[in-house]
């Protein structure tokens, strides 16, 4: 599974495709909202990005891709470097 759901944390690994969107939406709807670790995320489908932008979870690790990180930071209200 490219997205791993652990206790209170959601890890994105490698290529995360649109198939994950529904489950991610459900997981993010849980209180307290889990943290996201994107540090191992290679590619993130637009649908997942949108969900993250809508849910604005706490992000503990940012992707390697600079542009993606920039977009995520802005969309989630996180601090820009």
Partner 1 sequence: MTNPLLARFIPEARDLLESSSSGLLALEKAPDDARTVNEVFRAVHTLKGSSGLFDAPALTKLIHVAEDLLGAVRADKLALNPDIVDDLFAAFDQVGAWIGYMEETEVLPPDADKVSGTLSRLLRGHLAVENSGDAAPQTPAATAVDPSARAKWLALFEAEALADARAALEKGRPVTLIRYAPAANAFFCGSDPLNLVLNTPRLIAVEQQPAQPRKPLAEFEPYQCDMVFTALAGESEDEVAAHLRYEMELVTLCALRPEHLAAETAEAGPAAEAGPAATAPRHVALARTIVANQIRALSGADYAAEGVSAAASAVARLAASLRRLDWAGAAIAAANEANAQASTAPALALLRQIDADLATFDQTAQPAAAPAAPAPAPAAPNAPRHEPPPQTAAGAAPADKRETAKHEPKKTLRVDQGKIDLLMNLIGEMIVSKNSLPFLAKRAEDVYGSREMSREIKDQYAIIDRLAQEMQAAIMAVRMLPVSDVFDRFPRLVRDVARRLGKEVELAVEGEDTAADKTIIEALGDPLLHIVRNSLDHGVESAEERRAAQKPAVAALALRAYQEADSVIIEVEDDGRGVDPARIRAAAIEKGVITPERAAQLSDADSVNLIFAPGFSTAQQVSDLSGRGVGMDVVRTTIEGFGGRVHVASTPGKGTLTRLILPLSMAVTRIMIIDGAGGEYGVPMDMIVETVRIDRARIHRVKQSEAFILRDQLIPLARLADLLGQPARAKAEDEPEAVLVCRVKGRMLGMVIDDFRIGMDVVLKPMEGIVAGARGFSGTTLLGDGRVLLVLDLKELL
* Residues near partner 1, by CB under 8 A: 5, 7-8, 18, 21-26, 28-33, 43-47, 49-51, 53-58, 65, 67-68, 70-71, 74-75, 77, 80
CB of 41 to partner 1, least distance (A): 12
49 versus 61: smaller Cβ distance to partner 1 = 49
Question: Nearer to partner 1 by C-beta: 1 or 77?
Answer: 77
Quick check: 72 and 80 in contact, CB under 8 A?
Answer: no
Q: How far is the CB of 24 from partner 1 (least distance, A)?
A: 8
What are the DSSP calls for 24-59, one per residue?
Answer: HHHHHTSSSPPEEEEEEEEEE-HHHHHHHHHH---E
| Among the listed residues 43, 51, 48, 47, the one whose alpha carbon sits nearest the alpha carbon of residue 68 | 43
């Amino acid at each position: 599974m490219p997205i791993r759901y652990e206790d209170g944390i959601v890890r994105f690994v490698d290529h995360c495709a649109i198939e994950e969107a529904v489950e991610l939406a459900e997981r993010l709807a849980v209180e307290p909202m889990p943290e996201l670790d994107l540090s191992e995320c290679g590619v993130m489908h637009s649908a997942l990005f949108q969900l993250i932008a809508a849910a604005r979870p706490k992000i503990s690790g940012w992707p390697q891709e600079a542009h993606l990180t920039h977009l995520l930071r802005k969309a989630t209200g996180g601090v820009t470097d």
